[in-house]
Amino acid sequence: MYDVVIYNTVHNLIIVCVFIYNYMYTLTMLCKY
């Protein structure tokens, strides 16, 4: 039961990290021009 909660938390954290990474990457690409 707790394993599912931990898995979901980690999964959500990864999604957030990827989203932030893509957002920062897009900002840096836009700033170059």
How is 11-31 classified by DSSP, letter by letter? HHHHHHHHHHHHHHHHHHHHH
What is the pLDDT at residue 33? Answer: 66
Q: What angle do CA 8, 17, 21 make, to 5 degrees?
A: 155
pLDDT digits (tens, 9 = 90+) for 1-33: 688 999 999 999 999 999 999 999 999 998 876
Give the Cα separation of 31 and 33 in Å (integer): 5
What is the pLDDT at residue 31? Answer: 85
What is the pLDDT at residue 17? Answer: 98
> Is this model's pTM higher than 0.75 or not?
no
DSSP at 10: H
What is the pLDDT at residue 28? Answer: 92
| Displacement of CA 24 from its chain's centroid (Å) | 11
